[in-house]
Amino acid sequence: MPSTETATAETAPALPLVRTQSRGTIALGVGLVAMGVVAVWFYFRGGPAWGAIFLVLLGLAVVSLVNAVRYRLTVDERGIARRGLVRETFVPWDEVEGLSVLGGNAGAVQITRRTKGPLVVTHVPPAVVPEMRAMAGLPVPDEPPPRYLARLRLRALCWVVPALVVALALLTIRRFHDGFGSVSATLLGLVLAGIFTRSLLIVLFGRTEAGNGGVRNRLAVLVKQIPWTAVQRLEVVPTPFGRRVVLVSPPIRIALAAPRESLFARDPGFDAGVEELAARSRQTVEVKRRSGLLRLSYPLLLAGVVLALLWSEKPQLEPWWPGNTEATAIPDACPVGQDVAGRLVARPKLAGRARRDLGYVRTSVCEWREQGTALGLTLRYTLFPRDGGDSGTARAVTRMNSARSLGGAPVRGLGDQAHLRDGEATGGSDIALTVRRQNVLLEVEYSGRRPVGQARPEAETLARRALARVRFV
């Protein structure tokens, strides 16, 4: 929870002072590396393509762990030495121009150097700061400056973790559903995964510290230090489930890690915390509270983005859209053509039966053959669902036009479009009848001993009956 602390006097440890990262910090780093190793293992075992991001996260976790293990602060009569990830920085006392306590559990102290930029060291006990000032020849105040520390309640994890899981599920939804809404859900999951990952880092690592010199804010990963002289005002901004504080330092605006409220992490001391933060400055800092109506903009913006994404997927092409009467299923072809096959094919034998659903097309095929020959009858249903921005009907029309390009003549009164190719063959006839109704294509192919005059009416009868079996919603 956002909380504030005031530094209290304590016995100063004798110099030299040697400090390293706490065991808890190192244990946390080991845990993050272990989780990263497990995640990468699952990725190489056949995880989704986006799982490659775990390689980057594992690398960051390893770097953080190495930095935590290597960190070492030494304060003695020679000066201040800080060992970081790759090198050690030493500041002799005659180089120190100022010391500013930033406060917080990390004991952050900003060292102003005469010839170089400021250096921040952590894990400095507040009671050691007066002795450090004396060693540097700086004035020592009677009391150490008060400090302020605030962070988000850990109870926020109760919604951040489930929300992150939902976002990752949306991100991988196309592995299980590749129809309408899957693209929007994937893009939404990508955005939300980034937002909730950031929220998780804020809950775990975010903190705001302030002293007389300025504000030190750690939001997720980045750390920013802002002197009070650069602060124009503090703004209390409503969010959908709480409030947050924004530090305005023109031309930038910095969202503070705390004070902050979120879902399941209310803080009755939020307003007092804001006033206490502003009171840390030696100058008057304005606190501006934004209207509560602003929190309505977040869900409205999210709803607008979701609706825009969904509309870009053209829902009017879906069969459930009002006024769209495309078919969603096709029947088994064999029962439909059984009796016609008995009349057209001598001694018919079921030679083939298949139903396939490839996602972008569905088929149902049945073939009857005259025993011992290649003569026979084939009935084939083909249903075209929408594919991207093309409706099922448009795809069926394209296939129908391909069939018409092979020659033949149109047939009136049969479906939305019908085309017939027929001809006499040795000892019989060949007929190819293609019929389209909306997004369903029906093909009747006959090669047998019946003459065209007998076979053609039977083929047309079969086509009408087959179309009647399809339900167009």
Q: Residue ranges of the domains in the chain?
A: 10-143, 146-313, 333-468
- Cα torsion 268, 273, 275, 276: sign: positive
Could you count the other beta carbons within 10 Å of the beta carbon of residue 268? Answer: 9
Mean pLDDT for 335-347 is 89
Average the pLDDT over each of 54-68, 112-126, 132-146 and give the range with the smallest value: 132-146
Between 143 and 363, the more confident residue is 363
pLDDT digits (tens, 9 = 90+) for 122-165: 778 777 888 888 888 888 776 655 578 888 877 788 888 888 88
Between 287 and 144, the more confident residue is 287
Q: Is the pLDDT of residue 285 over 80?
A: yes
C-alpha angle 411/417/422, rounded to 5°? Answer: 40
User: Mean pLDDT for the chain?
Assistant: 83
* pLDDT band with cut points at 50, 70 and 90 for residue 355: very high
pLDDT at 108: 77
Nearest-angstrom CA–CA distance, 134 and 395? 84
pLDDT at 236: 93
- Whole-model pTM: value is 0.54
Nearest-angstrom CA–CA distance, 355 and 349? 18
Between 110 and 28, the more confident residue is 110
For residue 73, CA distances in Å to 110, 228, 272, 407 come to 13, 27, 35, 88
The order of strands in the sheet holding 79-83 is 17-20, 72-75, 79-83, 88-92
Nearest-angstrom CA–CA distance, 122 and 135? 18
* pLDDT band with cut points at 50, 70 and 90 for residue 179: confident
Residue 261: helix, strand or coil by DSSP? coil
Between 246 and 145, the more confident residue is 246
Q: Is the pLDDT of residue 374 over 80?
A: yes
Whether 183 and 34 have beta carbons less than 8 Å apart is answered as no
* pLDDT band with cut points at 50, 70 and 90 for residue 283: confident
Checking DSSP bridges between strand 348-357 and strand 362-370, what pairing results, if any? Answer: antiparallel
pLDDT at 14: 55
Of 111, 146, 108, 101, which Cα lies nearest the Cα of 9?
A: 146
Q: For residue 166, report the phi and psi dihedrals to the nearest 5 degrees.
A: -60, -40
CATH class in words for 333-468: alpha beta
Nearest-angstrom CA–CA distance, 177 and 296? 32
For residue 160, CA distances in Å to 84, 153, 181, 202, 270 come to 32, 12, 24, 10, 20
Does the structural domain 10-143 have CATH classification 2.30.29? yes
Q: Is the pLDDT of residue 272 over 50?
A: yes
Average the pLDDT over each of 89-98, 310-319, 447-456 and give the range with the smallest value: 310-319
Q: Is the pLDDT of residue 6 over 70?
A: no
Checking DSSP bridges between strand 207-210 and strand 214-219, what pairing results, if any? Answer: antiparallel
Average the pLDDT over each of 262-271, 355-364, 366-375 and give the range with the smallest value: 262-271
